[in-house]
Amino acid sequence: MRRILLPISSLIVISIASTSTFTSCKPESKPADTLLDTAVIMPAATEIDSAQAGVDSSATATGIKSVTGKVVDGAMNSVFVEIEPGEAEEFSYSQLDRNNSDVFYNWSIDDEITINYVEVERGGELVDSVVSIQKAE
């Protein structure tokens, strides 16, 4: 009987030792980074200037202009606004902070919106740079 108990007890000890060794070698699991962990919160702007709109410092601003019209189409970072019947203009706003309600209105098709923009000179050519998109009043 002693012969049987000794091998069984040694197997139990080896089993316990190997289990604790393997479980202690497991890598620690880290929680995945989330957008909320890395989000940068900007203070609300009271006045919009060309620097906030993403106009680079090498561009020359010629003044803020406004266009009001109906949204007829759009994509990820652009919107097509019908200013007169049959005439739509595209405005790109890739630099605009979509989380700041002072400069961005989450538009839908058929909404009346006002686009504030500046004309800037880049590479000898005038281009539009959107400063804000707001619901038309």
Q: How many alpha carbons fall within 13 Å on the CB side of residue 32?
A: 2
C-alpha distances out from residue 17 to 5, 6, 11, 22, 101, Å: 18, 17, 10, 9, 60
| Architecture of the domain spanning 60-135 | Beta Barrel (2.40)
Q: Splitting the chain (137 residues) into consecutive groups of 10 residues, what average pLDDT does each group show?
A: 55 58 52 42 40 47 85 93 93 91 94 93 87 93
pLDDT digits (tens, 9 = 90+) for 32-41: 444 344 333 3
The string of pLDDT tens digits covering residues 52-62 is 444 444 445 55
Query: Where in the chain are the domains?
Result: 60-135
SS3 sequence, 50-72? Answer: CCCCCCCCCCEEEEEEEEEEEEE
| Cβ proximity of 39 and 33 under 8 Å | no
C-alpha 13, offset from chain centre: 55
